[in-house]
Structure 1
Amino acid sequence: MTVTQRRGRRAMMTRAELDAFLAGRRTCRVATAGRDGRPHVGPLWFVWDGRALWLYSLVRSRRWADLRHDPRVAVVVDDGEEYEELRGVELSGTVTVVGETPRRGAACPELATPERLFAAKHFGLSVMPHDGRHAWLRLAPDAVVSWDFRKLRER
């Protein structure tokens, strides 16, 4: 993971802050580009394993169709209501499909950690339920930009 941030370093999250923030949030917004070049942004649940953002997406969705054509994405996870409370992370790069499509639960060692994390975070379960409609996308980001405007008022 490369931090590409030059401006706003005072508001930038440390690695530990970024990991804690992503572990604590449930929903991200995923931006894709369609075959015609039109952008599409939609919310999606995710988990962060410390190296990659794991997205569990419907395979019959505009997002999935867009990503099969062009796997580049930008993902934003943010929080805060008032300006001085805003904090977030933007991750960008290329997604990779991992495991079967759609996911029905076949053995896939690479999915053991994200499925354990996702099941606990989003369903309160120890085992991931599979519905045969979703599949996994892994984003090992090429670029990461973060901000925590709460830091600016601390100085």
Structure 2
Amino acid sequence: MAVSQRRGRRIMMTPAELDAFLTAQRTCRVATAGPDGRPHVSALWFVWDGQALWLYSLTRSRRWADLRRDPRVAVVVDDGREYGELRGAELSGTAAVVGEAPRRGEACPGLETPERLFAAKYFGLDAMPHDGRHGWLRLTPQSVLSWDFRKLPEQVT
């Protein structure tokens, strides 16, 4: 994973902080490009395996159609309510379909880890339930930017 952040190094998350953050958060925002070039942003559940962000998407969604035509994607995961609490990460690269689409549960060694993580995180289960409507997209980030405003020094007023 390439870290290309120049500004804000003092508020950048360490690799361990980034791993913990991406593992704990539940919702991301996925930005794709439509056929006319217009951006489309949608919220989605995901899991992080330490190397890739795994998106579990409806295969009959605009997001899926956009990424099949143009696999470039940017994803933001963020948290915090007050300014001094804001933290997040932007991951960008290309999304790849992994496994059958839509997913019905065929054996796929590359999906063992993300499906185990997803089932536990969102359903409290040991195994992934398959509905025949979703498929897996893997984003192995080419660029990662992160921020944690909690690292900013206290402002004097």
Same fold (TM over 0.5): yes
Q: Work out the CA distance in 2 between the residues paired with 1:35 and 1:115.
A: 30
Kindly report the root-mean-square deviation, in angstroms, between the aligned alpha carbons of the 2 structures: 1.0
Matches within 5 A, 1:1-155: 1-153=1-153
Q: Deviations over 1:45-84 (max 9, x none)?
A: 0000000000000000000111111000000000001111
2:120 maps to amino acid: A
AA in 2 matched with 1:128: M
SS state of the match for residue 63, structure 1? helix
Q: Counterparts of 1:111 and 1:85 in 2: how far apart (Å)?
A: 34
TM-score normalised by L of structure 2: 0.97
Name the SS for the 1:114 alignment partner: helix
- SS of the counterpart of 1:117? helix
Moved over 2 A (4+): none
Q: CA deviation at 1:154?
A: 6.3
Alpha-carbon offset, residue 153 of structure 1 = 2.7
SS at match of 1:81: coil
Letter paired with 1:112: E
CA distance in 1, matches of 2:11, 2:63: 31
- The alpha carbon displacement at 1:101 in A equals 0.6
8 Å contact 1:31–1:41 — kept in the other structure? yes
8 Å CA contact retained: 1:84, 1:153: no
The aligned amino acid for 1:113 is: T
* Structure 2 spans left out of the alignment, 5+ residues: none
The percent of aligned pairs where both chains have the same amino acid is 79
Matched pairs, number: 155
After superposition, what is the alpha-carbon deviation per residue over 1:71-117, rounded to whole angstroms, capped at 9, x for unaligned? Answer: 00000000001111100000000000000010000000000000000
Kindly state the Cα deviation for residue 30 of structure 1 after the two structures are TM-superposed: 0.1
**SS in structure 2 opposite 1:10?**
helix
Separation (CA, whole Å) in 1 of partners of 2:34 and 2:58? 16
Match for 1:6: what amino acid?
R
Which AA in structure 1 matches 2:22? L
SS at match of 1:128: coil
